[in-house]
Structure 1
Amino acid sequence: MNKYVALLRGINVSGQKIIKMDALKSIFEALAFQNVKTYIQSGNVIFEASVTEPELLAESIEKQLRVELGYEITVVVKTLSELEEVIQHNPFTENEASEGKLYVSFLSKEPVAEDLAALLSVQNGVDEIRALEREVYILCRQGYGKSQFSNNFIEKKLRVPATTRNWQTVNKLANM
């Protein structure tokens, strides 16, 4: 069995797409996943599966969620080793990261190079972004709620669905 983390986009945010974590866990167990655990209410699920392709898992989960809940939810699936690499390859130094709060936007697929270049060219003098393959790291110096680099902004610039987590959550998921 392989260990995975599923990151669901936009659930339990501002009273929209509400789902209880025990119900979410049951949906994953119905897909025959093993050792299913959820972490906080924002749609983080750790599980084991025999499938070795994260993209196939994401499609299967999205389809089951659509059937069970009646609406679309974007799901990004990472292997545990991929999540650990996200942490190891953090492009911000410890000193830089101490200037604010760090977030990671997980992209559902690799963006087109021109779109990524356009995103990275946006500067606002307060917050900073850096990207590696399918992740965009965001250093928010005045808080994520005030940042120009919201999940929606990144999705529009890259034309790729994404879901964002704070650095503490990313590390917690890797350690579960």
Structure 2
Amino acid sequence: MTTTYAALLRGINVGGSRKVPMAELRALLTDLGHGDVRTHLQSGQAVFSSGQGDEESLAAGITAAIEQHFGFGVDVIVRHHAYLKAIAESCPFPAAGLEPKQLHVTYFSAPVTPDRFAGIDRSAHLPEEFRIGDRALYLYAPDGLGRSKLAEQLAKPRITRGLIATTRNWNTVLKLVELTDD
């Protein structure tokens, strides 16, 4: 039985560094034995089907292949359709009433607990807010991610230590649900 997954690559094709052309990424995933390989945007989303391994082993295989092929490491998180759909459906913010640039999801490689965020003064960042989900964090940033002071705090090493974390805007969150739906 095959499952459809999304691979989320962290920090590629930003500012001219760590270039990973999507055509080469598709070929690389195909060479790893994955089927129905597609990419979305240039910012590091690939969708594929596989009947082998689990999310962690698939991510490790893609990470190793990218490093061997491109000569630099890239953090990768792999998630299946049911998870991606559950994340979209569990959004604690009124997504339908917000602009996509105002809502983001940070996917984590492992579960996160509230104690990681204990040092953040939530009231100091209002109206920006965040909520913790299943290996994810939802961020409401009314002025967008680029202007978000809360996003800066959430990206600090004390928060992300020991984890892979990669953020996607709401449009991409929904698109990944659509693309992985077989």
TM-score (norm: length of structure 2): 0.87
Verify the 8 A CA contact 1:3 1:49 in the aligned structure 2.
Answer: yes
Contact residue 125 and residue 150 of structure 2 kept, 8 A:
no
In the TM superposition, structure 1's runs of 4+ consecutive aligned residues that sit over 6 Å from their partners are none
| Equivalent-residue separation in structure 2 for 1:98 and 1:41 (angstroms) | 21
| Distance (whole Å) between structure 1 residues aligned to residue 117 and residue 167 of structure 2 | 17
Q: Give 1:19 deviation, angstroms.
A: 1.4
Q: Is the 8 A contact 2:104 2:170 kept in 1?
A: yes
Aligned 1:129-140 pairs, distance under 5 A: 129-140=130-141
Q: TM-score, normalised by structure 1?
A: 0.90
Aligned CA RMSD, in angstroms, stands at 2.3
Instruction: Give the paired residue count.
Output: 176
- The 8 Å contact of residues 58 and 77 in structure 1, kept in 2 or not, is answered as yes
Contact 2:58 2:78 (8 Å CA) reproduced:
yes
Helix, strand or coil at the partner of 2:17: coil
Cα distance, 1:17 vs. partner? 0.7
1:74 corresponds in structure 2 to: 75
User: Structure 2: which 5+ residue stretches go unaligned?
Assistant: none
Mapped contact 2:4–2:81 kept (Cα < 8 A): yes
**SS in structure 2 of the partner of residue 150 of structure 1:** helix
Determine the structure 2 residue equivalent to 1:34.
Answer: 35
Correspondent of 2:167 among 164, 169, 173: 164
- Give the unaligned 5+ runs of structure 1: none
- Alignment deviations for residues 19-68 of structure 1 (CA, whole Å, 9 cap, x no partner): 11101101111110000000000010000001241011111111111111
**Partner residue, 1:115:** 116
Q: Indicate the percent of aligned positions where both proteins have the same amino acid.
A: 29
Distance 1:116 1:133, change over 3 A: farther
Measured in 2, the distance between the counterparts of 1:37 and 1:94 equals: 26
Indicate how the Cα distance of structure 1 residues 166 and 142 shifts in structure 2: closer, same or farther if over 3 A, else same. same
Q: How far did residue 110 of structure 1 move? A: 1.6
Q: 1:173 aligns to what?
A: 176
Is the contact made by 2:120 and 2:153 (CA closer than 8 Å) also made in structure 1? Answer: no
Partners of 1:126 and 1:142 within 8 A in 2 = no
